[in-house]
Structure 1
């Protein structure tokens, strides 16, 4: 049968789009009720989070999913993979315990596998933030006491993958080079080989540990993160570029007329705690300040300094999302994209649509 060239091209384009991963986190703090049409193309939905300590015992603890897996599937394309994320920001205690010995790693992996089977998950996402140190408790539990995690991180991942078999294993990895403590040239090839996909958190590139303003998820910053991982030996096709469905704000000490380099107030106290001078707002909340955004076309991010509050704001836009597809996803041959999180998008799903449009160009 003769197939017209236009039809052939359309089929090829569709096949290319479906070959890329479209990973969406679905978190317990932001409710979402999308239709299948609104979530079209999403290949993986990751529920966040199961506690990291649940899997340190045999039998494991029993997580209580905040959403029924079978019901969740009905909101996405047929064949979507539903994954269980473990850990998250501030929850690393279970990983620290689980990675200690060969026996503890096997126990942890066995518990993860049993839980996936019991609850009907297709995959697991390990959100250990961060192996080797720099987690939320870095002042109470200094990095010097976590050096064993650098080598054991890959070992724990290997055990989990062996235990879950054909089910997929993904990991969430830091976007800031200063947090890549366990991602050494020796360890990255081992980490890379153990997993099926890598969700790169190319956002929060400015946080409360900084003392000067910067974009939290710019094109330039995101590309630098991806290039760092590539230089360490990560496989491009395993990496998913991360997108944030929220804006961040930081108090400054004075007037701020440019996006990079303004002095901030004290954002973190001596114990590593939050001073309340910074935060995040979801796009669903649509803060009026976002209408005043200034595109930084040099670095590829949106910013605004609010004179009434002295808050420096930083966020992404559909314009720069499109640019990230061209200059990062395409240019570096990445395997897909991911976003945190579905329920934080605007009510008209502006950012989901932007990712769908970007994927359609691949």
Structure 2
């Protein structure tokens, strides 16, 4: 049956999402004109432990909601992120049983209302284990989180009503402990938006080099979630406004598979042999980067420091729109984080350009 061009589905008519994290460590004031297309700005982070008590603790954002709202285009939703890397203690308490989940959700809802937020982003890294404390608090003690994660999200969504619930989810398959074929459909049904952290695909737990973000790596992450039952239209593809470096052992002539020194100690701590540098800081070494056209990532081995560098470029950003966002029917994109882009807003502009192609 022929359908007139003027008739579109709600999904087709909806503008693509463009979510931007705005973190408390990089607070350069955005120019409203430069923020065109941003649909969600997400302040990071509220502590997870604030919501476990009755009454809840008090969250004081680093910037108030009304001020932040005035810095973005009309209609941009202002969201509160809870958690982040290294903060999951409150989630672990909140997810335990029906009573704790209801209290946690009620406290989130009241905090959103009192501060004027439009939405909540649950940044639990990572339910089921593999968080920062995985050596001290092993995954074997967190198996209850696998089933309870979706239950907690259901309670939060029920408590906040019409306000949006988004989640940040891991990019590495080894970290998708709670994202099983049984649980993912429940997780997907409970939330409105899924912010896929399709970066940090190499971290200090690795002992050979790889791109921390790439076209092929990001596509593999997205395809894994889709295969598990995640609704593609709810997913935002993630972009990182920073480069990462890892100390290699000896010369590194290719981006994949060079051995590294020990990047993590026996207790899971950082040995100081790896790190991240924001595009705001523009490390000079980035000018020497090489494009891995097979994987779709930028890299460089610095012989002076033995650092293996890995990052994204505007060209690979464009490829991700074509080969992932469009090809897989994703609902939009997100980036970490606003204040980490360079002075010319190179990466915000690259995302804005990509969004115009959708």
TM-score range, shorter chain: over 0.9
State the shift of 1:182 in Å: 0.2
Corresponding residue for residue 71 of structure 1: 67
SS of 1:70's equivalent? helix
TM-score by length of 1: 0.95
Once residues 30 and 124 of structure 2 are traced to their aligned partners in structure 1, the CA distance between those partners, rounded to angstroms, is 28
CA distance in 2, matches of 1:20, 1:162: 25
Question: C-alpha distance in 2, partners of 1:125/1:339?
Answer: 13
1: distance between equivalents of 2:347 and 2:57? 36
Range 33-42 or range 225-234, more displaced: 33-42
1:275-354 counterparts in 2 under 5 A? 275-354=271-350
Query: For residues 70 and 86 of structure 1, what CA distance do their matches in structure 2 show?
Result: 19
SS in 2 for 1:19: coil
Contact 1:17–1:361 (Cα < 8 Å) also in 2: no
2:134 to 113, 138, 152: 138
Deviation at 1:226, TM superposition (A): 0.2
Structure 1 residue 161: deviation in Å? 0.2
CA distance in 2, matches of 1:320, 1:291: 16
Partners of 1:299 and 1:155 lie apart in 2 by 37
Tell me the residue number matched to 2:35: 39
| Shift of residue 18, structure 1, vs aligned partner | 6.0
Q: CA deviation at 1:16?
A: 6.6
Q: Deviation digits for residues 32-54 of structure 1, max 9, x if unmatched?
A: 21211111000000000000000
Find the counterpart in structure 2 of residue 166 from structure 1: 162
After TM superposition, the score normalised by the length of structure 2 is 0.97
Would the aligned equivalents of 1:69 and 1:120 in 2 still touch at CA under 8 Å? yes
Q: 1:80 aligns with which of 76, 84, 97?
A: 76
Alignment of 1:110-259 (within 5 A): 110-259=106-255
**Uncovered stretches (5+) of structure 1, i.e. residues with no partner:** 1-7
Trace 1:83-122 onto structure 2 (pairs within 5 A).
83-122=79-118
Give, in whole Å, the separation in 2 of the partners of 1:298 and 1:147. 38
Q: What do you get for the CA RMSD once the two structures are aligned?
A: 1.3
Separation in structure 1 between the aligned mates of residue 137 and residue 239 of structure 2, nearest angstrom? 30
- Tell me, in whole angstroms, the C-alpha distance in 2 between the residues paired with 1:306 and 1:184: 39
Match of 1:267 in 2: 263
- Aligned pairs, number: 351
Cα distance, 1:74 vs structure 2 = 1.3
List, as ranges, runs of 4+ consecutive aligned residues in structure 1 with deviation greater than 4 Å: 15-18
- For residues 175 and 31 of structure 2, what CA distance do their matches in structure 1 show? 37
Contact 1:18 1:41 in 2 (8 A): no
Give the conservation status (yes or no) of the 8 Å contact 1:17–1:359: no
Q: Cα distance, 1:17 vs. partner? A: 8.9
Cα displacement string for residues 146-170 of structure 1 (whole angstroms, at most 9, x for unaligned residues): 0000000000000000000000000
Checking the alignment, whether the CA contact within 8 Å between 1:189 and 1:234 is kept in structure 2 is yes
> Equivalents in 2 of 1:290, 1:17: separation in Å?
39
1:4: which partner in 2? none
CA deviation vs aligned residue, 1:38-82 (integer Å, no higher than 9, x gap): 110000000000000000011110011001110001111101100
Give the Cα separation in 1 of the matches to 2:58 and 2:14. Answer: 34
SS at match of 2:147: helix
1:5 is matched with: none
Cα distance, 1:252 vs structure 2: 0.5
How far, CA to CA, are the matches of 1:304 and 1:259 in structure 2? 8
* C-alpha distance after superposition, 1:116-171 (max 9, x if no partner): 00000000000000000000000000000000000000000000000000000000
